Amino acid sequence: MPFALVNRYMRTQRTFLLLYISIITFGLVLNLKHSLFHSKTLIPSLLIPRASAFVPTLVTPKMMDPDLSKSWLLRSNSAIGIHEAWKLSQGDKRIVVAIIDTGVDLNHSDLKENFWHNPKEIPNNGLDDDHNGLIDDILGWDFVHNTATPYDEHGHGTHVTGIIGAVKGNGIGISGICPYVSLMILKYYAPNSSGRKNLENTVRAFQYAIDNGAHIINYSGGGAEYSKEEHDMIVKAQEKGILVVAAAGNEKNNADEIAYYPASYDLDNIISVAALQKDGTLVHSSNFGVTRIDVAAPGYQIYSTLPNNQYGMMTGTSQATAVVTGIAALTLSKYGKLPATKIKELILASVNPMLSLKAKIKSGGSVNALTSLERADHETKNTF
């Protein structure tokens, strides 16, 4: 659809690509559009500290996930090499991925085992045990309603969460790209909130993730205007060695000409992600750009979790972003000595080169989980 300029002082909802209806459920793909408030300024890249090392988790599943084949990116012949990658690592619960989105189905049987739990907070005692101003923030926080229960009233956040970290081998539904992980749920968006409020909630959610030990932040939203507040918060994440994976946007635009933020911020700890179809070409609405968009990943008719213990398909750069977040978590889980910028470098250097992407995407290819892990193995052996 054509790019639509929005009021500079509004942060509004943009509908993602398509409505897919299956016999199971349906998913309406949301693009969390934002409009921001300051002209662009750039700051130099900062040194990223190294993360703590992790021992990879290798688990033989007790049961098969019955719907695994419904997700084309999780099949044995998938171009991202996920089954071979799982032989090297399936994640680690010490990896914390913050998902800044519309919340999640807190009771979903394929997700709840992987929710992060705030180690500084005592559940349900009505006290602010960690003295951060939030009472009983066990799983994260709902910045829309200012509560400790970030329920998903839309579906987008639950879908993204499942792609990243649905439980593997539990005999239910599907698996996430990184099936052993801790998922910090941060709800910032509501369609009836004001533009300014959604932006404020975004910044607060980033601050929470930074303060509470996130290693990776997934942000599947964005907009066409620059925000100094948002930019500066991602700089803080960079200083802590936190990787931010951001959607390229769904306007069919060249982001080198029409920027899409936060994906277009010129910061070393951001990976910006375009969406691919099954044939390896870009989803028709995906933004692109050889300077500002780093990599492409599967984002067409992706099968994942939805509210009310359901499953369904969604399409867009949001889904592609979640795929890259999952791969980044896998890589960090096996090679936790690597800083965020190095993980980004490894993912970009490990792509499957594609002629269709050569003049569209900075890396010229689509992500490959197996190659990223193998390249990281070589990197650590030669560095540490």
Nearest to 303 by CA among 176, 167, 113, 137: 176
Active site residue 318: yes
Active-site pick, 65, 67, 92, 101:
101
Q: How far apart, in whole angstroms, are the C-alpha atoms of residue 273 and residue 271? A: 6
Please, what is the end-to-end C-alpha distance for the chain in angstroms? 48
Active-site pick, 35, 78, 304, 318:
318
Active site residue 145: no
Per DSSP, the residues of 232-298 read HHHHHHHHTT-EEEEE--SS--BTTTS--BTTTS--TTEEEEEEE-TTSSBPTT--BBTTT--EEEE
Active site residue 136: no
Active-site pick, 154, 156, 159, 215:
156
Peptide bond between residue 150 and the one before it cis (omega within 30 degrees of 0)? no
Please say whether the beta carbons of 263 and 218 come within 8 A: no
In whole angstroms, how far apart are CA 144 and each of 132, 152, 199, 232, 378?
17, 11, 11, 22, 44
Please identify which residue in the block is written with the tokens 């090679």.
Answer: 335
Q: How far apart, in whole angstroms, are the C-alpha atoms of residue 246 and residue 248? A: 7
Would you please indicate which residues are annotated as catalytic (active-site) residues? 101, 156, 318
